[in-house]
Amino acid sequence: MAASSAAFAACLLACALLFQMCVASRKLTALVQDQPITMTYHKGALLSGRIAVNLIWYGNFSAPQRAVITDFVSSLSTPPSPQPQPEPSVASWFKTAQKYYANSKARFPALSLGQHVLDQSYSLGKRLGEKDLVRLAARGSPSRAINVVLTADDVAVDGFCMSRCGTHGASPRSRAGRFAYVWVGNPATQCPGQCAWPYHQPVYGPQAAPLTPPNGDVGVDGMVISLASMIVGTVTNPFGNGFFQGDADAPLEAATACAGVYGKGAYPGYAGSLLVDPASGASYNANGAHGRKYLVPALVDPDTSACSTVG
């Protein structure tokens, strides 16, 4: 399963690369790779057709926080005219993932915002394990879905901050069908230096001034980065046998292979050249729905075998 592979990968990479978090989890920064990054297709099933992205909110999220993430999910698809996203856009960024499907027989999925499930009562407590995440994810659709579990900043999740900022996996096969799932935690109070960089100073390494988050929320803007990485991982490697590099127990995926790279000229401790909103001073690299601005990770472009940034 992709989720367990991600956790194992984190342990292997932690000693090798400074400032990184984990594979199939968003990492803090990345080693700039000069060699080609080859994503091998392992002939597994991919998502196809209409796929609902259902959001399961666990714990306390304000309405503005929910709006930031909801708008990001809505940004993944190109809206019909006359309200296209200005370029560079989240929709154009996501189209890089579509290139992977040219090497398979599947059609690229059409993602759409699905249902919202709110659990503000912390029904499973404030400390969650992997099984709890799967239970929460099962509250979304049982099939043809990516069920996204979002945990509030006061919820501790096994491995959160220590080896991962988020992860993805899939439910077991059943008569009801099978769904892919993503989990991302809000790092605002637990580990902003690890899972909200570059909008917070890193725990280790160069202590440059943090960038200003485009939506005014260090934790939620950090969650968007992790969510973007995990959704691309889910689309290109939903069941652990899709596109990835390396061993299946420690895979590098389309986004995690470029961790820490957001703009041209990025290197460990430096996110790269980014756009700056003249009004707020916020740094971003992609425009989204409803005038939103976001920071999304570079993706391995299968045409060039290199990390491709937005713009």
Residue keyed to tokens 């306390």: 60
Q: Is residue 209 part of a domain?
A: yes
The reported pLDDT for the residue numbered 82 is 56
Q: Is residue 292 part of a domain?
A: yes
Q: Is residue 174 part of a domain?
A: yes
Mean pLDDT of 19-40: 53
How far apart are alpha carbons 251 and 5 in whole angstroms?
7
Residue 74 half-sphere exposure, CB side, CA atoms within 13 Å?
A: 18
- Residue 13 tokens read as 């990479």
- Nearest by Cα to 56 from 162, 164, 128, 158: 128
- Nearest by Cα to 132 from 192, 179, 181, 66: 181
Q: Give the chain's mean pLDDT.
A: 88
Query: Domain range holding 87?
Result: 38-304
Is the N-terminal amide bond of 238 cis, ω within 30° of 0? no
Residue 237 half-sphere exposure, CB side, CA atoms within 13 Å?
A: 31
How far apart are alpha carbons 5 and 240 in whole angstroms?
8
- Least confident among 123-127, 247-251, 256-260, 262-266: 247-251
3-state secondary structure of 256: helix
Q: Is residue 18 part of a domain?
A: no
Whether the pLDDT of residue 34 is over 80: the answer is no
Q: Is residue 14 part of a domain?
A: no
Residue 230 half-sphere exposure, CB side, CA atoms within 13 Å?
A: 32
DSSP code per residue over 3-59: HHHHHHHHHHHHTTSTT---TTS--S------S----EE-------SEEEEEEEEES
Q: Is residue 258 part of a domain?
A: yes
Any residues with CB less than 8 A from the CB of 123 and at least 6 apart, and which?
A: none
Q: Is residue 121 part of a domain?
A: yes
Whether the pLDDT of residue 139 is over 90: the answer is yes
Any residues with CB less than 8 A from the CB of 116 and at least 6 apart, and which?
A: 54, 55, 57, 66, 70
Q: What is the pLDDT of residues 279-305, one digit of tens each?
A: 999 999 999 999 999 999 999 999 999
Share of the chain above pLDDT 90, in %: 77
Mean pLDDT of 252-256: 96
Q: What is the pLDDT of residues 158-188, one digit of tens each?
A: 999 999 999 999 998 887 789 999 999 999 9
Q: Count of domains in the chain?
A: 1
pLDDT band at 16 (very low <50, low <70, confident <90, very high): very low
Q: Which residues of 128-152 are buried (b: 16+ CB within 10 A; e: fewer)?
A: bebebbbebbbbbbeebbbbbbbbb
Q: Is residue 15 part of a domain?
A: no
The reported pLDDT for the residue numbered 223 is 98
